[in-house]
Amino acid sequence: MNADDLLRRMAHTLKREIGPAIADEYPKTQAFMAGVVLEKLARQLELAPLHAAAESADIAALLSALGELLAPVVVPAALTVALVALARTRDQTALSGLVGALYETRTALGAELFDCTLGRVRETLRAGIDRQLAYAA
Amino acid sequence: MSTQSHAQNNPLITRITAYLAAKMPQAVGLALSGVERIAVGWSHETWLFDATWQTAGVRHSQGLCLRRDPGNALLRQLSDLGEQYRVLKALENTALPTPKAFWYESDPAILDAPFLVMEKVPGSCPNPWGREGRAFYQAAATRGVLPKSFTSTLATLHTLDWRAAGLEFLGVPEPGTAFARREIAKWRSLIELSEQPPAPILTDLIGWLEANAPATSRVTLVHGAYRTGNLLIHEERISAVLDWELQVLGDPLYDVAYVLSDLNREGTELLSNLVDRSAFYDDYEAATGYAIDADICRYYNALYAMRSVAFWMSASGLYAAGRSQDLRLARTAWSVPVVLARAARDLGY
């Protein structure tokens, strides 16, 4: 049995059998909530390999697009550091750091380039949050 | 055993009785009845009961509400029962309906945690997220009296003389963008306390909020969570404004934006499940003389998204750190992306 299948079945038991058999309000809510948590975890686990691959592809595409966008200009140091970090780790923390660096260097980039660069980053962020909604919503 | 009798036999009730007897040395035969612990919010424990006693042969009765801070509240260090007590005392002599505050104790030796004792105001507080609560507010909306009371009470809150009431201790924001920036800093600090890395969309949201902070044109008392569920209702009117945890001095449109927010209604166009949008605009603007600026309200709506994320990160962080065993808090980890997806849409993507 897969881990996500097991969690889903445990969630079902908690919500349909254990929870309804409990009279007191607080433990009843806790049993139901445990079921909800396990359901979400199961879906997250099920989608994890697919999502990891998509995220990796998205970040690679983002780095490539930003490389082209920023090629004609002198990139502020803080932004360069953030881009290097993202290229190295390719994770959400580095992506967050890149967004922060964009705002930090907004004046140096100028309004047009800032908007354009942030707009491209936001495409990646939207794709990522839509993936998370597949198990969180 | 019923919840009530369980509460009645709770050793804590014995200690509360002893405390009240010490606070009222003239009271003879002090006893508590109708004790119930109500399950509201995720912050403080709330106990309701009736105290009866005699003085000089005359029998007295007083409904009381005790709120105790268990130390793992959603707002962590940002929640302060001592401040709530000061706010309620300051509001006692204003036109705003609030519970009368009797005592506040910070000494954990008394009841293991800081607590506040206040008046139990007549009324009920239907949960707007439940089926019965939604039906209650829908029916009240049709009758029309309660929606008017909802709006006029908010207008009273926003037009009361906070300097005369002695509320300056809440911190008067400097003119300009200081109010919005102070709120951003407050919720950023709660996010940092959660010890979880910020999501990229949250970083974007905070960057946008900082870059677009509006100037505050007037300073009033702001409740911070003015909605059904935080308002006690008695005989079709607001009998008390509750939940004084998020109040600040600042832009009244911060409260207005909360009223207008989609966050506070479910399956209905009625604001806070109760008030017609157009009627709210008309009645609020007429009662306060303040124009509702849609752009500023949209900004504050984005700020509320940041606040919601801070709440959920704080909640799930408390569970992750083992400071709470409440699985409702664990579940909020999955609320963060839902709010961020909505915030991203509000930012245009």
In this predicted structure, what is the pLDDT of residue B104? 97
The contact set of A with B (CB < 8 A) is: 24-26, 29-30, 33-34, 36-37, 40, 92-93, 95-100, 102-103, 106, 118-119, 121-123, 125-126, 128-130, 132-133, 135-137
B336 within 8 A of B313, measured Cβ to Cβ:
yes
Q: For residue B66, which of B97, B45, B87, B95 has the smallest C-alpha distance?
A: B45
Average pLDDT over every residue of B135-141: 96
pLDDT for residue B3: 41
Both tokens assigned to B295 = 């752009």
For residue B279, the one-letter residue type is A
Give me the helix-helix angle, B200-211 and B335-346, nearest 10°.
40
Closest of B156, B194, B179, B143 to residue B299, by C-alpha: B179
Over chain B, what is the mean pLDDT? 93
- Note the pLDDT of residue B307: 96
pLDDT score, position B40: 59
- For residue B208, the chain A residue with the least C-alpha distance is A103
Q: Is B304 a residue whose pLDDT tops 50?
A: yes
Question: Which residues on chain A are in Cβ contact (under 8 Å) with B129?
Answer: none
Residues B149-177: what's their mean pLDDT? 97
Write b or e for each residue in B104-134: b if 16 or more Cβ atoms lie within 10 A of its Cβ, otherwise e: bbeeeeebebbbbbbbbbebebbebeeeebb
Tell if the pTM clears 0.95, that is, is over it: no
* Residues B60-74: tens digit of each pLDDT: 999 999 999 877 777
Beta carbons of B341 and A135 less than 8 Å apart: no
What would the two tokens of residue B61 be?
A: 């009765």
User: Which tops the pLDDT comparison, B8 or A23?
Assistant: A23
Query: Could you tell me the pLDDT band of residue B247, with boundaries at 50, 70 and 90?
Result: very high
With pLDDT > 90 as the criterion, what percentage of chain A qualifies? 93
Q: Which of B39, B200, B210 sits opposite A92 (nearest CB)?
A: B200
Nearest CB neighbour to B200, from listed A24, A99, A119: A99
Burial of B56 (0-12, 13-18, 19+ CB in 10 A): exposed
Average pLDDT rounded to a whole number, residues B265-286: 95
- The confidence score (pLDDT) of residue B41 equals 62
* Answer CATH for B131-346 from 1.20.1070.10, 3.40.50.80, 3.90.1200.10, 3.40.50.2300: 3.90.1200.10
Q: Which domain holds residue A55?
A: 3-136
Complex ipTM value: 0.94
pLDDT of B283 above 70? yes
- Beta-carbon count within 10 A of A16 CB: 12
Query: What pLDDT shows up at residue A52?
Result: 96
B211–A125 C-beta distance less than 8 A: no
CATH number of B3-119: 3.30.200.20
State residue B7's pLDDT score.
Answer: 55
When pLDDT is averaged across residues B115-134 and rounded to a whole number, the result is 93
pLDDT digits (tens, 9 = 90+) for A51-100: 999 999 999 999 999 999 999 999 999 999 999 999 999 999 999 999 99
Give pLDDT tens digits for B305-317: 999 999 999 999 9
Question: How many distinct structural domains can be found in chain A?
Answer: 1
Domain boundaries, chain B: 3-119, 131-346
CB contacts < 8 A (A, B): 81
- The confidence score (pLDDT) of residue B4 equals 44
Are A133 and B327 within 8 A, CB to CB?
no
Q: Is 60 exceeded by the pLDDT of residue B140? A: yes
For chain B, strand residue ranges (E) read 28-38, 45-55, 58-68, 101-105, 115-119, 220-222, 231-234, 237-241, 248-250
- Separation CA B139–CA B145 (nearest Å): 11
pLDDT band at B5 (very low <50, low <70, confident <90, very high): very low
Distances in whole angstroms, Cα of residue B315 to Cα of each of A46, B125, B245, B307:
25, 24, 16, 12
Give pLDDT, residue B39: 64
Higher pLDDT among residues B121 and A27, named by residue: B121
Q: How confident is the model at residue B2 (pLDDT cuts 50, 70, 90)?
A: very low
Query: Over chain A, what is the mean pLDDT?
Result: 95
The residue-averaged pLDDT of A11-39 equals 92
pLDDT of residue B1 exceeding 70, the answer is: no
pLDDT(B134) > 90: yes
Q: What is the structure's pLDDT at B8?
A: 59
Q: What is the pLDDT, as a whole number, of residue B22?
A: 95
